[in-house]
Amino acid sequence: MKKNINKLEQNLGFKVGSVNLYINALTHKSADKLNNYEKLEFLGDRVLGLCISKKLLEIFPNEKEGILDKKLASLVNKNKCYEIGKQLELDKIVKIGNLMLKKQIIEKKIVSDSCEAIIGAIYLDKGFDFVEKFILKSWDEHIKDKNIVIIDPKTKLQEYSLKKFKILPTYKFISNTGPKHKPSFKVAVKLKNTSFVEANGSSKKMAQQAAAKKLLNLLNEKLWNLKIKDFL
């Protein structure tokens, strides 16, 4: 693992302090059920969101909250973290279990999760100012890119569910009412730890998007009450 840490230091551009933090950040739970990147990933996800949110407010001080939220979602999603993770060559140094090794390819999600875990490790090892500089440098081109891809609510909810529960959200078709020229579809959606949330739309797809957005809003309200304690 020392060889992997040396490679990571080369790609990060600095010497790490607490080596064990980065070892955990590079370890998938299939390789070690206790000492792996899951808690650091949780922390890194929040640190990344805070740093990018802060930067967006500096760049777009007069922008509406809804637009800023969409810009943020496009910058901290799994695909973007995967891109940064590939730049750091995490796919070549992350440690996985023997069963997963047989696949001969590191899953995209593992690289993305490890990237967030590295951010969490840097925060605990070097502090907020240091990790903020690292994030802004790594995400610089993406932040400046005006062609930001907007992540729709259904995709956003799917990413959240896969990350937190490792399963997809459950959608349920309820009804189709109204005349043929102006139908109204009702759809419900739930996550593993929620009850069904209903919404209407002019098509089944639109109803699914509306339901996903409604559930995301409810989740965001609950997140305000979360307090981050010790992670290690």
Which residues are catalytic, by number?
A: 45, 116
Q: How far apart are CA 195 and CA 181, in angstroms?
A: 32
Q: How far apart are CA 154 and CA 177, in angstroms?
A: 23
Handedness of CA 155, 224, 52, 95 (dihedral sign): negative
Q: How far apart are CA 120 and CA 134, in angstroms?
A: 12
Give CA separation, 7 vs 4, 45, 132, in Å.
5, 23, 22
Chain centre to alpha carbon of residue 27: 18
φ/ψ of residue 207, rounded to 5: -65, -40
129 contact partners, CB below 8 Å, separation of at least 6: none
214 contact partners, CB below 8 Å, separation of at least 6: 197, 198, 199
Q: How far apart are CA 126 and CA 14, in angstroms?
A: 11
**At 208, which helix (H) or strand (E)?**
helix 204-223
